[in-house]
Structures are given as C-alpha cells and as structure tokens.
C-alpha cells in the first residue's frame, strides 16, 4: 500500500459510525482505528516502506486522516437511552430523592419566623465562654451548685468553659446596652451529664429576651401564650405559676395541660395533669445592674425552653440521643 484513499476510508468510517448503538460499539471502532494495533498505527508502521520522495506527502495525509478520525470518534455522544417508555402511570417507580432539613433546623426556623414577626432579632452567641457571662452575670454566684465540675464542661477550669445555657448571649447583649432589646437566642449548650432519653450532653435551648421601659410579667404571659399555642396548637391550655430560676425575679413558668388526660393525671404527665414546658421571669435586677442598665427605669423578661423536647414532640422522636448522633436517616432517599 503506497497511498491512502482518505475519502473512501472516511466514507467507510461514517457508515460504521451510523451503525453505533452502544458505548461498546463505539469502543470497538475506536480500537479498530486508534488502538495500538489499529488502522492508523499500522499505516504509520508502513512509512518505512514508502520511497523517500513520497514520505512527506504520506505523512501529511496520515496526520490529516488521524485528525479526522479522532474528531469524529471523540465527538460522538452515546446516551444509553432506552426505547420510548412503555410504563404507564400505574406502575411502581422509585421515589425521587429529595433534600431534607434537620428537624431541629425546621423547628428553629419556624420559631424564628414567629418571633421575627413580633420584632425579635435572632442571635446565637459563642459556645466557648468564660465564667463571667455564663454564670456570674446570670445570677449564679461562685458557690452555686450549677458551677461545679460535675455539671459544666471545662476547657480551663474555672475560667473557660462550654456554655451551659444560651443565657451567656443574653448577658452579652444586655451589656451592649443598645436598648430596647428584643432578641431570641437558639443554640447548642453543653452539660457534663450522662445522656439519657430526655437529656443529652449537648442539646439545644431556645431563649428570648426583651428589655425596655414598662416591660411586665403581663407581657411575658402574652408572648408565652402566643408562642406556645403557635408551637403546640391553638387548643393548648396554659397555666402560669411561680417558679424559681436564679437568673430571674420574679420567676414565671408556664405549664401546658396534658393532652392525653386533659388535666386529670396520667402516666405521660406523671399524674400532674400538667406538663412543664418552659421557664421564664423578669430579668434579675442584679443582672441588669451588672450590665449597667438602670433596673428602676428599665425592666425586662427572659424566657426559654429546651428546644429538643419541642422537636421530639413535633416529629415523634422518642429519644433525644437520636437527634444529634447521626441516627436520623431520612427514609425516602
């Protein structure tokens, strides 16, 4: 063979390309032409048999041929498309995988929207905290039980710790004194406690703070009622009673009537008829003073609840430990 009939070769190739149905077909043709022992390489090996004066002509043609073959073969797209779908709409099919938010995110975002509507901003605050903001400012003096090694996870005892409550951010925002303050603080908190069904070593709190002139317990009752009905349904019955928390005075705590026994007492509510759901009260005058806020001119309330409990109830999650251990596996992927 001393010359190449490129036109004929390309025609042949085009025919073969038309016949391609699968990736294997394409690969076979690629090997036939471009493989180690393919047509192009074989032609290349023949160069030595070509008379010298024709060598450059032959080489040029061979290169041109190679480029044409390469361009054609590599530009073929094979979609392994099946025949027109014969399925009809009654056939069982695979569900499309959809993305999901974590239940805690969903609950937090719903609550944030609710509080945004009433003029609350959302803050988060640091998780690595010092003693002053986590305890000292929040009415937990040096010898308070909550300060002890057993309850708090320390990075450097006694100064540096993992916050035990979102109140650290309350302390920080109070200290900025940009009044009025109207914020909610959702976030992770840490305790040195062995996890059980209802309490983990890491859990979420949801806290609210409102400071202005003339803020009253009546206002706190109002926002509690609105928020709890928003979370748990308009048919929720709420009562308010006095309860001690070191960071507030007076303390005010809402209970919701047990929906299983309608207040008559059952196993779910530990025969109380009511379920403790949240805590709150008027920000302790000492806390305001420490923040440099005149506690005779301004007053404020703070409230909070364990967010996980709300999440668990909303999404029927029986054990707190499932929430943050990667054991929530979305079922429809």
Partner 1 sequence: MKVPINWLKNYIDIEHSSKEFGDIMTNLEFMQDGPIKNEVIDLEVRQNRPDVLSILGVAREYAAFTNKPVRYPEQKNDIKVAWGTQKKIINVEAEDIVIRFTAVKINNIKINISPDYIKENLQAYGIQPINNIVDITNYVMLEYGIPMHAFDTNKLSIAENRALLNLRMAQNGEKFTTWQGTKVTLDTNDLVVADANNRLVSIGGITGEEESGISEGTKNIILEAANYEYAYIRRTAVKHNIVTESSIRHSKILPSNMVGIAIKRALTLIQELAGGEIELVEDYYKKKQENITIKFESSEIERLSGLKLEDSVIENLLLRLGFEVLSKNNNVWEVKVPSWRTDITLEADLVEEVLRLYGYDKIPTTQINTAPPKQITPKILLLENKIKDILVSLGLQEQITEPLIEAQNIENEIVLENPLNKEKNSLRTSLKQTLLPVAENYIKAGKNLFGLFEVGKVYYKNGETFKEEKRVQTIYNNTSTEKIKGDLQALLLKLGINLNKIQTKKEGDVFNYYLDAIIICALHNIGFELYTENIEKIVDINKIPAVHFKTGFVQRIEEQVTVEVKKDSDLSKIEEIFMGESDKIYSVYLTDIYKVNEELNALTFTIVFEDVNKKLTKEYITEIKEKAVYNISKEVIN
Residues 38-57 that bind partner 1 (CB under 8 A): none
What is the per-residue binding string for partner 1 in 192-221, x denoting contact by CB under 8 A? xxx-----xxx-------x-x-x-xxxx-x
Contact yes or no for 62/43 (Cβ under 8 A)? yes
Instruction: Pick one of 42, 55, 60, 102: the residue that binds partner 1 (CB under 8 A).
Output: 102
Cβ-Cβ contacts under 8 Å for 238 (sequence gap 6 or more): 224, 225, 228, 229, 254, 255, 256, 257
Residues 267-296 that bind partner 1 (CB under 8 A): 270-272, 276, 282, 284-286
Cβ-Cβ contacts under 8 Å for 236 (sequence gap 6 or more): 228, 229, 256, 257, 259
Q: State the nearest-atom distance from the C-beta of 57 to partner 1, in Å.
A: 24
Rounded distance between C-alpha atoms, residue 239 and residue 220, angstroms:
13
Residues 249-268 that bind partner 1 (CB under 8 A): 249-252, 265
Residues 73-92 that bind partner 1 (CB under 8 A): 74-75, 77
Q: State the nearest-atom distance from the C-beta of 70 to partner 1, in Å.
A: 6
Q: State the nearest-atom distance from the C-beta of 86 to partner 1, in Å.
A: 25
Instruction: Pick one of 19, 51, 145, 318: the residue that binds partner 1 (CB under 8 A).
Output: 145
Residue 143 binds partner 1, judged by CB under 8 A: yes
Rounded distance between C-alpha atoms, residue 118 and residue 244, angstroms:
27
Instruction: Pick one of 16, 61, 66, 182: the residue that binds partner 1 (CB under 8 A).
Output: 182
Q: State the nearest-atom distance from the C-beta of 53 to partner 1, in Å.
A: 30
Sign of the torsion formed by the C-alpha atoms of 250, 122, 275 and 325: negative
Which residue number, 58 or 255, has a Cβ lying nearer to partner 1?
255
Burial code (b: 16+ CB inside 10 Å, e: under 16) for 195-224 equals beeeebebbbbbbbbbbeeebebebbbebb
């Amino acid at each position: 063979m001393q010359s190449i009939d490129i036109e004929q070769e390309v025609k042949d190739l085009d025919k073969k390309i038309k016949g391609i149905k699968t990736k294997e077909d394409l690969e076979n043709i690629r090997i036939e032409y471009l493989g180690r022992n393919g047509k192009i390489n074989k032609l290349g090996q023949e160069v030595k048999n070509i008379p010298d004066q024709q060598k450059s002509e032959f080489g040029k043609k061979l290169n041109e041929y190679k480029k044409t073959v390469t361009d054609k073969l590599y530009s073929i797209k094979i979609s392994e498309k099946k025949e027109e779908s014969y399925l009809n709409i009654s056939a069982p099919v695979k569900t499309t995988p959809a993305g999901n938010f974590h239940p805690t995110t969903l609950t937090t975002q719903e609550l944030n929207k609710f509080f945004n509507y009433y003029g609350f901003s959302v803050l988060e605050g640091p998780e690595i905290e010092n003693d002053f903001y986590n305890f000292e400012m929040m009415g937990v003096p040096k010898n308070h039980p909550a300060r002890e090694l057993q309850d708090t996870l320390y990075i450097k005892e006694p100064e540096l710790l993992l916050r035990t409550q979102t109140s650290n951010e309350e302390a920080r925002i109070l200290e900025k004194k940009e009044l009025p303050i109207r914020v909610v603080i959702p976030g992770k908190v840490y305790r040195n406690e062995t996890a059980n069904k209802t309490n983990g070593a890491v859990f979420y709190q949801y806290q609210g703070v409102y400071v202005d002139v003339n803020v009253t317990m009546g206002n706190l009752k109002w926002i509690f009622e609105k928020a709890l009905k928003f979370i748990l349904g308009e048919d929720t019955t709420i009562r308010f009673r006095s309860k001690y928390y070191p960071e507030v005075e007076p303390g005010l705590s809402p209970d919701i009537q047990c929906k299983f026994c309608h207040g008559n007492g059952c196993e779910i509510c530990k025969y109380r008829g009511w379920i403790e759901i949240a805590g709150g009260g008027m920000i302790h005058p000492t806390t305001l003073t420490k923040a440099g806020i005149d506690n005779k001119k301004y007053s404020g309330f703070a409230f909070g609840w364990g967010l996980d409990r709300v999440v668990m109830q909303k999404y029927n999650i029986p054990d707190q430990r499932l929430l943050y251990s990667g054991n929530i596996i979305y079922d429809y992927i």
